[in-house]
Structure 1
Amino acid sequence: MTDILRYAAFTQRPDGGNPAGVVLNADGMSEAQMQQTAADVGYSESAFAGAAVGERRYPLRFFSPVAEVAFCGHATIATAVVLAGMDGPGHMVFETPAGDIAVDTRRQSAGTLASMRSVASHSRGASDDETQRALAALGWSAADLHPIYPPHVAFAGNEHLMLGVRTRERLAELAYDFDALRELMLERGWTTVQLFWVEDDETVHARDPFPVGGVVEDPATGAAAAALGGYFRELGLIRESTRFTIRQGEDMGRPSELTVEVSPDDPQVTVSGYAVQIIES
């Protein structure tokens, strides 16, 4: 029987953050077995790590309940914390379908903190058609969007549509057309839609619909957090090395915190967070 560990990432509480399944030594599992395991676990993603192929270097794959995902930030953080608990904190590298992801782990009084470096980020303006179809699926209008943050499709391992809103109230009122948004995302190859509101220079609030993964919403999305940092950089909003916090999952009862570090001269983005084990009764 496959030993499945369950961890909540980007939180210090097992009832917060984004749950992920973690399977170690998954080399002997077929793709179909990984997919079935992820479906059985039912979390937005589960991670499947192979045995080390070098010093603290591991192959890593990710599956949602319905499909493989090239890169998943919260499951990467969860896997790194699991391995740090077994082998001690330090540097490790995951070979993912999106490229190599370096992660540093360190023990702190609050738990084990993991910091992952994304692949090189980039961002492009979303087309009028992409924007209008997304807004229609969300039940929003162009007036809901903040003029400082134009709609973009941002990448830091996979692609995410970025939509910045004017108010926190607009962000809180999320009730979208699941099938319409899923169809658009599958057509365009987007992993999530990152809906965000900038509170100030240090705090961003976000929500991430994830219909292509078979779930309504992700409570913490490390891949989208990295893409958001790259998006801010692409817009020229990052003029010096900057750190900010993304607060996500609050509107769905699973509060999460993701720390993002981005520099104007570096396309790679660092995303950090804690992860704790979920003990199921």
Structure 2
Amino acid sequence: MTRPPVHTVHVFTDGPGGGNPAPIVLDASDMTAAEMQRVAQQHGHESGFVVPSDDDDVDFRLRFWMPSQEVSMCGHVTVGTVWLMHRLGLLRSRDLRIGTASGVVRARVSGDGEVEIAQPAGALERLDSSLAAEVVAALGLTAEDLAGLPIRNASTSRTKTLIPLASPDVLDALVPDPRRVAAVCALAESTGLYPWVVRDRGARLFEARQFPRSSGYPEDAATGVAAAALAYGSLADRLVDGLVNGPADAATAATDAPIRVQQGRAMGRPSEIRIRWREPRGVWLGGAVRA
């Protein structure tokens, strides 16, 4: 049997060599789960697979595989898949509903071809002091390295642990042991540690790094669902405006300027994820894509 082609696009790019690579199979209807995982292992990145759906309420269905396991949702792979299908003329509409294991995801393609996907309202939970101390130790940090804001679990589609740091230098210097990261993520019931700093509060600019729990690689160049979670963490910390009284107040956002989360610079893969509030609940998540 001829294997279906794998297309690789780079999502959330912000400069040469930037973005998170996304291997994508546009017709995975005859692929087994083991074959999908093998593609992710061979490419070494989280990968997406377009499969048929019996649900008339969705345009198509996506499955997501890391080298180590299947996951319910991946933001950058979803953005990359829609961008690729639009570029190849495979979409019947610019407004889409995509079936995933975490539910139906809305996507839209703008007039200039930029893709945004919807994420639901974020859920936040502050870690207790003992668990927060475990997270800090797993990253090799001390209390002086922290920004003095809460360490939280936050989630729109997958739970991430947000760790606010005191400076970009602290963020850049992180070299955590993946085994300790996996262990503390298991304790925190999180899929990854997401240390972050404020780059420019007035410009809504943040920088972050993602150390996943068990993906088969130690760090991500750009993590859409984590950036969406960070938007809600920064909102709770009063670092951004809009939604100040909770997700139901999306219409009160003071500006349409996106929250921008830079990632991947420590890896030499500069990336930027853009998040905008949407009504009545949730955010739009998008960024640049290149083949």
TM-score scaled by length of structure 2: 0.86
Unpaired segments of 5 or more residues in structure 2?
243-252
Who is 1:184 aligned against?
184
Deviation (angstroms), 1:33 = 1.8
Q: Which amino acid aligns with 2:157?
A: G
Who is 1:172 aligned against?
172
Secondary structure of 1:213's counterpart equals coil
Alignment partner of 1:87 is 2:87: no
Tell me which of 11, 18, 25 is aligned to 1:16: 18
Alpha-carbon RMSD across the aligned residues, in angstroms, is 2.0
Deviation (angstroms), 1:28 = 2.2
Q: Which amino acid aligns with 1:104?
A: R
CA contact (8 A) 2:181 2:212 kept: no
Q: Distance in 2 between matches of 1:36 and 1:127?
A: 39
Q: Distance in 2 between matches of 1:130 and 1:79?
A: 37
Q: When the two structures are aligned, how many residues end up with a matched partner?
A: 271
CA contact (8 A) 2:125 2:154 kept: yes
Tell me which of 248, 260, 266 is aligned to 2:275: 260
Q: Which amino acid aligns with 2:97?
A: V
* Identity in percent: 27
Secondary structure of 1:215's counterpart equals coil
CA contact (8 A) 1:185 1:212 kept: no
**CA offsets, 1:195-251, max 9 Å, x none?**
111122321011111241011111100010111112233445544225221111111
Who is 2:287 aligned against?
273
Q: Which amino acid aligns with 1:37?
A: V
Q: Distance in 1 between matches of 2:183 and 2:85?
A: 37
TM-score scaled by length of structure 1: 0.89
Q: Which amino acid aligns with 1:232?
A: S
Name whichever of 137-146 and 185-194 sits farther off.
Answer: 185-194
Who is 1:121 aligned against?
122
Q: Which amino acid aligns with 1:219?
A: A
Q: 1:63 to 1:139 in 2, by over 3 A?
A: same
Secondary structure of 2:209's counterpart equals strand
Q: Distance in 2 between matches of 1:187 and 1:63?
A: 23
Q: 1:13 to 1:81 in 2, by over 3 A?
A: farther
Q: Distance in 2 between matches of 1:12 and 1:235?
A: 27
Who is 2:247 aligned against?
none
1:175-254 equivalences under 5 Å are 175-201=175-201, 202=203, 203-240=205-242, 241=253, 243-254=258-269
CA contact (8 A) 1:207 1:248 kept: yes
Q: Distance in 1 between matches of 2:237 and 2:15?
A: 34
Q: Which amino acid aligns with 2:44?
A: G
Q: Distance in 2 between matches of 1:118 and 1:65?
A: 24
Q: Distance in 2 between matches of 1:130 and 1:49?
A: 38
Unpaired segments of 5 or more residues in structure 1?
none
1:141-156 equivalences under 5 Å are 141-147=142-148, 149-156=149-156
Tell me which of 106, 111, 119 is aligned to 2:110: 106
Secondary structure of 1:216's counterpart equals coil
Q: Which amino acid aligns with 1:259?
A: R
Q: 1:124 to 1:204 in 2, by over 3 A?
A: same
Q: Distance in 2 between matches of 1:198 and 1:266?
A: 27
Q: Distance in 2 between matches of 1:199 and 1:251?
A: 15
Q: Distance in 1 between matches of 2:281 and 2:120?
A: 8
Who is 2:248 aligned against?
none
Q: Distance in 2 between matches of 1:200 and 1:191?
A: 27
Q: Distance in 2 between matches of 1:67 and 1:15?
A: 26
Q: 1:59 to 1:23 in 2, by over 3 A?
A: same
Q: 1:57 to 1:234 in 2, by over 3 A?
A: farther
Q: Which has the higher strand share?
A: 1
